[in-house]
Every structure is written in C-alpha cells, then in structure tokens.
Amino acid sequence: GAVVSQHPSRVICKSGTSVKIECRSLDFQATTMFWYRQFPKQSLMLMATSNEGSKATYEQGVEKDKFLINHASLTLSTLTVTSAHPEDSSFYICSAVGAGGHNEKLFFGSGTQLSVL
Amino acid sequence: GENVEQHPSTLSVQEGDSAVIKCTYSDSASNYFPWYKQELGKRPQLIIDIRSNVGEKKDQRIAVTLNKTAKHFSLHITETQPEDSAVYFCAASLGGGANNLFFGTGTRLTVIP
C-alpha cells in the first residue's frame, strides 16, 4: 500500500517556541492531506484539510494563525505549531489521499507526539 | 454534515470468540465506509472498507456489513487473537472516497488470552 511518512515522531519543546511537523507521501502524489489531533483514548479530531497549491481549510475552532499549514508540493505538507503552550501537547497525525489509483484510500502518517513544557 | 456514532466504546472478549462493533451514520448520501485499526501510539491502518453498492465484504477473519436502509454498518472479527487488541475506528464518507471522512469515536477492543 501507499506510504505516508511523518516526522518527527516525538518532540519536546519549551513553551513559546514553534514546532514544525512534516508529512510526506513517499510513493504517490497526494493532492489532499489532512491534519488531525488525537487526545489519549479519544478519536481523531480533524484540524484542517490541506490542498496542494492553495490555502488550507480549517475546521471550526482551530486557530489558523496558531496551526500553520503549508502544502507546497504534491508530496509534502507541513504543520507548524506556533508559540506552543502546554495545552498544545497532543498526538498529531497526518493523512493523505492520492491522485490516480490511490485517490479512494486514506493513508496515515505515524504520528507526532508533541510535549510542550 | 455527517454524524457517525460508534458502539461500544470498549469491548473485551475471550480469545477465539467473535467481536462486533457497530456504527451508525446520519447522511443517507454517504457511500464509502472504511474501518481503521490503531495500536497504541501508532498510525491508524485501514483494515477493510465497503461501498454502498455492496452489503457485505469479508477478508479472512474480518467482515463488514452495511445496512443502507437503517444507516448502520458493523465490523465483525471472528476467532479473535490477542494481536487484535487495539482501537478500531469506523468512518463514513459522502464523496465515495477518502476525501471527506467523518470518524466514529473509536472502540477499544481487548482480547483476553
């Protein structure tokens, strides 16, 4: 199946700093990528939909200025958590939907555990 | 938009028994229903999916059934094994693919050896 790579897998940062998370589709072109946040023992909460070459679409309640999303190419989307605070600590997961033969399936990255001290 | 409900939230079964997880959806236009398995701290993995033109699909020990009239679909795992222990998420999509998925709240399945 298709592979989605997400880095870093774990990051610990000080309050007030910014953290960038990368999501790459390794063997297919992803016209659309999604970013989720997952709290312990809870479901996936969609944060935003990222379309290549255009602005991301954010879900209600998600601060676009705090969670910056860039989808500059068909294989890479980045999520930057700006001025991170302890309440931003969470598990962030990306997923990708491909063009062509992969466009009907959703493939997930391995997730990033963010801890803000 | 679509609203997906999933039950139960936790499920414990003895090894070898069957497990059933049920989901309901609200929008009758939804036409793609995948199931994901997520082990602790890992990515969700697609385990099986079904489209609205099919009533049942089976892959070895895993099967999914869809009742369009009642707007519910279920995951069936037979002959459960300890490695089946994980959180399972259902989802529904209005677009026929994965572009517009709405996830259920998850079911934590524990298979007791």
pLDDT tens, per residue, chain B with 113 residues: 788 999 999 999 999 999 999 999 999 999 989 999 998 878 889 899 998 888 999 999 999 999 999 999 999 999 999 999 999 999 998 776 777 788 998 999 999 99
Identify which has the larger pLDDT, A74 or B12: B12
Predicted local confidence at residue A102, as pLDDT: 46
Contact A44 B103 (CB under 8 A): yes
How far apart are alpha carbons A53 and A56 in whole angstroms? 9
Distance from CA of B94 to the nearest CA of A (A): 12
Best interface-test mutation with A: which of B4, B37, B38 has the largest number of A CBs within 10 A? Answer: B38
How far apart are alpha carbons B50 and B39 in whole angstroms? 22
Chain B residues 9-38 with a CB less than 8 Å from chain A: 32, 34, 36
Predicted local confidence at residue B55, as pLDDT: 92
Q: Any CB–CB contact under 8 A between A60 and chain B?
A: no
Distance from CA of B39 to the nearest CA of A (A): 11
Predicted local confidence at residue A28, as pLDDT: 84
* Residue A80, strand partner residues: A20, A68
How far apart are alpha carbons B1 and A64 in whole angstroms? 21
Distances (CA, A) of A92 to A52, A108, B63: 20, 11, 29
In this structure, how many other beta carbons lie within 10 angstroms of the beta carbon of residue B28?
Answer: 10
| pLDDT tens digits along A17-71 | 999 999 999 988 888 899 999 888 788 888 999 888 888 999 989 999 999 999 8
State yes or no: pLDDT of A103 exceeds 90: no
Residue A99 banded pLDDT, cuts 50, 70, 90: low
Percent of chain A with pLDDT over 70: 93
Predicted local confidence at residue A100, as pLDDT: 53
In this structure, how many other beta carbons lie within 10 angstroms of the beta carbon of residue A111?
Answer: 21
Predicted local confidence at residue A20, as pLDDT: 97
Chain centre to alpha carbon of residue A70: 10
Chain B residues 33-92 with a CB less than 8 Å from chain A: 34, 36, 41-46, 49, 89
Identify which has the larger pLDDT, A104 or A36: A36
